Amino acid sequence: MDKDLLQGLRARIDAIDDRILELLNERAKVVIEVGKAKKGASADFYVPSREKAIFDRLTAGNPGPFPREGVKRVFREIISASLSLEEPMKVAFLGPQATFTHVAAMQQFGHSARLVPQKSIPAVFEEVERKRAHYGVVPVENSNEGIVNHTLDMFLDSRLHIIAEILLEISHDLLSKSGDLRDIRKVVSHPQALAQCRGWLEENLPGVPLVDVASTALAAQVVAEDDSAAAIASEQAGNLYGLKVVKKKIEDNPNNFTRFLVVGHNTPPRSGRDKTSLMFSVKDEPGILYRMLQPFSSRGINLCKIESRPLRKKAWEYIFFLDLEGHIEDDPVAAAISDLGDYCQFLKVLGSYPRIM
């Protein structure tokens, strides 16, 4: 090894790091000025569409060799730290710590935000509604298990809007204190995680009892006190509770994603690539399904998803949840929703926000 060459390269890296630090502080000073301007105009200090524009511009313009995903992760933390200069951001999420919702919240808001775990989805909504938190993060659907009905039900009475969506790849690790498969006498996890890993468990741990707990994070906490148990949980849960990896990525279907919603008080401005979510109920009569979709079809508006749920207050009547491409401020979207309202007993726009899928 040429020590002089290595020393010279390290000196170049140190000089580059000094320049990066200088630029970060220069950026922070501008962010502080932006914060002052927003307060004077009573504008939101967190704007998802602005963040998306930053990520899109930087990743598209990245010539390499620094990886594109690395650019997004680095600037996520730069933006998170910068927002904390404008105003300390408090984000409620469905806890406890090290759950996948916690991971999604960190992915969206970075480590400089104050992430506060809540015991239930209603508690997340209440924290934001009472303005004890600026935003909330809740799961809404999984690519394998389907919709999270409790989250959709909350929007019936809530005044909050969807301001962003998060897509998180779900990867389950088998964790234990020893990291040795031979020591495992029972497997602990959330029922959904156990179901998603059932094939691997039957093949590699046949006959080993499966124990349900309230969350994957709680499973990791339980296993941290039990030498004979293993948890199915996230890598973050293993790090938090000092567990070793027995086997990574044991989910039966590797194409496993969960979509999360960020809820807040105001609808973000248009980003140019948006999604609008709404809920509505219609009177049951011949041809009503055709008529409620026709306003969107006639205007060429793409519908991303439609779900139905029984109304809690009336038997055999249903509430529909619809995701469509476009922003409520787009004229065709606004006109289609207005036409839909003619057929509805109830109609509520849940929010327009930057689309990630």
User: Which are the catalytic amino acids?
Assistant: 258, 260
3-state secondary structure of 74: helix
**Beta strand segments in the chain, E:** 90-94, 114-118, 135-142, 146-147, 161-169, 173-176, 186-189, 210-212, 229-233, 244-247, 257-264, 274-282, 303-310, 318-325, 344-354
Are 340 and 298 in contact, with CB atoms under 8 Å apart? no
Interatomic CA distance for residues 260 and 300, integer angstroms? 27
Record the tokens describing residue 57, joined without a space: 């511009």
**Identity at 306, one-letter amino acid code:** I
Which amino acid, residue 84? S
Please state, in angstroms and rounded to a whole number, the distance separating the CA atoms of residues 124 and 262: 10
Tokens of 109: 């808001």
- The helix-helix angle for 48-60 and 68-86 (nearest 10°) equals 150
- The secondary structure of 299-324 as a DSSP string is TTPPEEEEEEEE-SSSTT-EEEEEEE
Burial 126-155 (b: 16+ CB within 10 A, else e): bbbbeeebbbbbbbbbbebeebbeebbebb
Cis peptide before 96 (omega within 30 of 0): yes
Q: In the numeric block, which tokens belong to residue 271?
A: 């980003």
Could you give the CA distance from residue 357 to residue 352 in angstroms, rounded to a whole number? 14
Q: Determine the Cα–Cα distance for residues 191 and 169; give it in Å rounded to an integer.
A: 18
Q: How far apart are CA 188 and CA 114, in angstroms?
A: 29
